[in-house]
Homo-oligomer: A and B are copies of this chain.
Amino acid sequence: MQRAAALVRRGCGPRTPGSWGRSQSSVAAEASAVLKVRPERSRRERILTLESMNPQVKAVEYAVRGPIVLKAGEIELELQRGIKKPFTEVIRANIGDAQAMGQQPITFLRQVMALCTYPNLLDSPSFPEDAKKRARRILQACGGNSLGSYSASQGVNCIREDVAAYITRRDGGVPADPDNIYLTTGASDGISTILKILVSGGGKSRTGVMIPIPQYPLYSAVISELDAIQVNYYLDEENCWSLNVNELRRAVQEAKDHCDPKVLCIINPGNPTGQVQSRKCIEDVIHFAWEEKLFLLADEVYQDNVYSPDCRFHSFKKVLYEMGPEYSSNVELASFHSTSKGYMGECGYRGGYMEVVNLHPEIKGQLVKLLSVRLCPPVSGQAAMDIVVNPPVPGEESFEQFSREKESVLGNLAKKAKLTEDLFNQVPGIHCNPLQGAMYAFPRIFLPAKAVEAAQAHQMAPDMFYCMKLLEETGICVVPGSGFGQREGTYHFRMTILPPVEKLKTVLQKVKDFHINFLEKYA
C-alpha cells in the first residue's frame, strides 16, 4: 500500500486517491459509492468487448454445448436449490460422453494407465502381467521413463508404431507408416490443425471447405475461426442419409463462383446422422476428390461403432489403396481417430491420432513445426490411445475380461440403436432413419405451423423452441437440428443413445409423450 501511495506521489496514480490502506471490501464499497457522484471514477470502457473482439471468433457457433446446455445447467442448479420441477434430474443426451452416462471404463486400459502414472505399482501382484508389459513399453519410450515429460511433438514413437500396426491390421494389410501418424489432443485438435495449414487466399481464391449437412459443428466452428468458406453438401435423408456424388458435384460447382474449394470433409460413420457409408460410395467420393483436386479429411472416430448387420466400416485409406496407384499415390488424405468414442469412451483423456497419406514432405515439416509450438499432446492421452490400438490378444491374461467388457458395451449400443429407431418411428410426426453406426439418433420432427409461429414469436429456431420445451418439461437435454444444419423447412434433434437401456426406454417414452402433447397443443 505504501508503494501504491508512492506511485501516486510520483504522479502516476489515479487523480482521486483517498482509499489507500483500507480493506478491499471497503475500497470496493467506496468505489461503487463514488461512481454515482464522480463520473471520472466510473468504470472505463473495456478494451476487449463484443465490438472490439476478433469477429471470426464472434461468428463461431457450437451447438453441442450451446444455449440449450447452458439452460440445462441452470435447471440443474434450480433442482439442487429445491425448486420443484416435473422431473428430478436433467438427462444430458446432448453429447457423446459415454462414461458420464454411467458406462464403466475398460479395466485393462485403466490398469495400464495407473501403472504408467505410478510405476511403483509395477511391483504390485494385483495387476496383470500383460498390463505391466504395455506400461513398461510405454514408459521406456518416454523421456525420463515418465508420463510427466514432454513427448516429441508428433507423439511418442512406440505409440505411433502401434497405431500404424493397428491400421495395417484393420485395413487387411494395406501398409501404414509411423512417420505418417500424428498423435493429437482428441480428434478435434487434429482436424483443426490440418485445416489451419490448408486455409489460404483472399476474396474469390479463399479456401472453400466442403462439409456435410447435417455436420458435426466442430467443422463450421473451425471454418469460421479460420475465416475460410463453408461449402455445404447435403446428405440424402430419404436414403438413410447417404452421400450422393451428384450433390457433391452441385456443391463444388456452385462454390467455384465465390471461393477455391480445396478440402472435402467426410464423417463416416455419420455424426449426427449415424449412417455408415458403403464401399461403393467411398470409391465414388475418392474419385470425385481426385477429379476435383480436393484434399480429403476423413473423420472416422466412430469406426468401432457399427451396429447394423448389413453395414461394415471401410476406411478411406484402404479403399484409396485398393483403387490403384493413380489414386493411392496422388489423393491427399488425412484421417482421424480418437479415444473418446468406440467402446472405451475415454473422452476426458483427450487422446487421438491423425494419419496422413500423400502429404508433401515439406508440409510434414510445417506440420511438425506447428505442433511443436504447443509442445505435445497430453502424454496420458497418448498412452490411452496406445491401449485402444493395442488391446489384449488371445492368449494374454486379460484377453477374456477385456473381450467381455468390449462386447458388452458394443452389444448394448447395438440394442439401444435398434430400440431408439423403433420407438421414434412409432410416434406420429417423428421419422427416424436407421442408426447404422455412431451413437446418436437424428430424427426428423414434423412441427405444426402454429409451433413454428410460436417459435418465431420467441425469436427461436423452431427446433430450438421444441428442444427448449422438451428440456423444461422433461429434463431431457438434446440438441436442435439447426445446430448441425438441415434442409430449409425440416426440423430435427440429435439425441445420444448412451443412457443405460432401462433409462433410455424411459427417456424415449418421455419424448414420445412430450411430442404427442406438443402436437396437440400447437395443432
Contact = CB atoms under 8 A, between A and B. Distances in A.
A258 interface: no
Contacts of A148: 98-99, 105, 344-349
A403 interface: no
A83 interface: no
A66 B328 CA distance: 32
Contacts of A47: 262, 293-295, 332
Interface in A311-343: 321-330, 332
Contacts of A114: 114, 117-118, 121
Contacts of A54: 196-200
Contact of A7 (B66, B98, B283): B283
A366 interface: yes
Contacts of A4: 283, 322-324
Contact of A57 (B1, B121, B366, B372): B366
A124 to B, nearest CB: 8
Given A54-B200, A363-B48, A280 B97 contact: no
B200 A146 contact: no
Interface in A431-454: none
A3 B143 contact: no
B100 A27 contact: no
Nearest to A29: B325
A87 interface: no
A519 B41 CA distance: 61
A470 interface: no
A153 B65 contact: yes
A293 B49 CA distance: 13
B279 A3 contact: yes
A409 interface: no
Given A283-B7, A374-B189, A147 B348 contact: yes
A324 B27 contact: yes
Oligomer copy total: 2
Contact of A62 (B41, B348, B363, B369): B369
Interface in A73-121: 95, 97-103, 105, 110-111, 113-114, 117-118, 121
A280 B44 contact: no
A511 B490 CA distance: 71
Contacts of A377: 350
A348 B380 contact: yes
Given A43-B329, A295-B48, A197 B378 contact: no
A24 B100 contact: no
- Most chain B CB atoms below 10 A, which of A114, A126, A373: A373
Contact of A360 (B48, B186, B198, B372): B48
A13 interface: yes
A55 interface: yes
Contact of A324 (B14, B43, B55): B14
A158 interface: no
A501 B100 CA distance: 46
B330 A287 contact: no
21 contacts: A3-B322, A19-B325, A41-B325, A46-B332, A46-B363, A48-B197, A53-B198, A54-B197, A61-B369, A62-B369, A66-B372, A95-B150, A100-B143, A101-B144, A117-B117, A146-B348, A148-B349, A188-B373, A196-B225, A218-B373, A380-B380
Given A17-B324, A348-B376, 8 more contacts: A27-B324, A48-B198, A48-B332, A48-B359, A54-B198, A101-B144, A148-B346, A150-B347
